Structures are given as structure tokens and as C-alpha cells.
Amino acid sequence: MALNDDFINDVIVADTEEILCPLILYWRCTVINNKDYKINEDIRDKEVRVVGSDGSQLGIMSAKDAIEKAYSEDKDLVKIAPNANPPVCKIMDFGKFLFEQSKREKEAKKNQKVMDVKEVKMSSTIDTHDFETKVNQAMKFLKNGDRLKVEVRFRKRTVAHPQFGEELLKKFAAAVSEIGVVDKQPKMEGRSFVMYVSPKSTK
């Protein structure tokens, strides 16, 4: 009996579907599950509370029935509240969810400003003019969104009077207080007194 082209095509399609379906299920259950979620056949609870893809409450059902319902919509069953009793699962397009989540994270990183730490160094015997110059320099850094490490260095016998350094740092903090806030109080580190100042939040 001669085989027509339609018959041959039907056989090829049927065989292809038999091959592809297990591969699709494997991809859904393994590749996606490399993330911190349990989905589809990895959900082995006896019962789960199911939320539909539109946010509707579908009630409590067996994990098997919930997975079948998700597959009937060409979607995935994702466990979103594993510690609930029973666990809560949602029907969703999990691949799309991960893509959008990754996109949001990349966008957040792009908009996130990296805060540099700028150093402002002074001697414990700094004069008034130089002190004002250091303050103006610090104000520019703070306005640019940078964090400051303000250091007062002691030389020779001045190290015997660390209180001078602490008083100088407090004076410095007051001078930049309009746009800066001390986030690490003055502390002696070796032969220097160190303080950290961050820009005030604009929120």
C-alpha cells in the first residue's frame, strides 16, 4: 500500500511530540529549578493551596491536580509560601517571571550609585584658614554623594594630647552638619584620630 504525504507527516509530527514533551517537562523541572524555588514535579506535598495565574484563590487540592491544572494552561506551578499550612503555590509562567526579576535586578544595579570614600587629612595644629579649606573640600565631596574619612594626624609630642584631635573632629562635624552626618564616631587609630561622615539622605 502506498503511503501518502499526509500520513507520513502525521507520523513525523506524532514522533516529534513524543520526543519533545519529555524534554519540555525535563527543562521545566530541572533547569528552572536551579533557582531557589520548587516548581512542578519537585512539589511533592500531599495538598497545596493554589493561587491562579490571575490571582484568584483556587482552593486546596492535591499537588498532582494542581500541576495538571498548571500544565493545562501551559504554565508552571510554583511554591511561593513553603512554610504555610498547607504550602501555597501559584500558577504562573515561571520562565517569564525569572526574566522579569532578572531585568529588575539589573535595572536596580544600574541606578545604584557606588559611594566612594574620600579622605580629608588634617594635623592637630591646623590653622583656621586651612581648616576652612578642608571643610569646603569636604562639602564638595558630600554634595557629590561621597563618604568621608576625616583624619587628624598627631606628630611628635602632640600625640600626648589626643583630646585636641577629638575636639577638632567634633568642630569639623558641626561645620558640615548641614549636608553630612557622622556615621562612625571619632576613634583613635595608631597616631591618628579618625571619623567617618556620610551625606545626609535626600529622601
Tens place of pLDDT for every residue, the chain, 203 residues? 444 444 334 433 344 344 334 444 444 444 444 457 888 999 999 999 999 999 999 999 999 999 999 999 999 999 999 999 999 999 999 988 888 888 888 887 776 666 688 999 998 888 999 999 999 999 999 998 899 999 998 876 666 567 788 889 999 999 999 999 999 998 888 888 899 999 987 65
How many structural domains comprise the chain? 2
Q: Is residue 50 part of a domain?
A: yes
Q: Is residue 192 part of a domain?
A: yes
The full DSSP string for 4-65 is PHHHHHHHHHHHHHHHHHHHHHHIIIIIGGGSS--BGGG---SEEEEE-TTS-EEEEEEHHH
pTM: 0.44
CATH number at residue 92: 3.10.20.80
Question: Is there a single domain that holds both residue 125 and residue 191?
Answer: yes
Domain of residue 130, residue span: 117-199
Q: Is residue 140 part of a domain?
A: yes
User: So what's the pLDDT on residue 10?
Assistant: 44
Question: Is there a single domain that holds both residue 64 and residue 122?
Answer: no
Question: Is there a single domain that holds both residue 61 and residue 123?
Answer: no
Q: Is residue 124 part of a domain?
A: yes
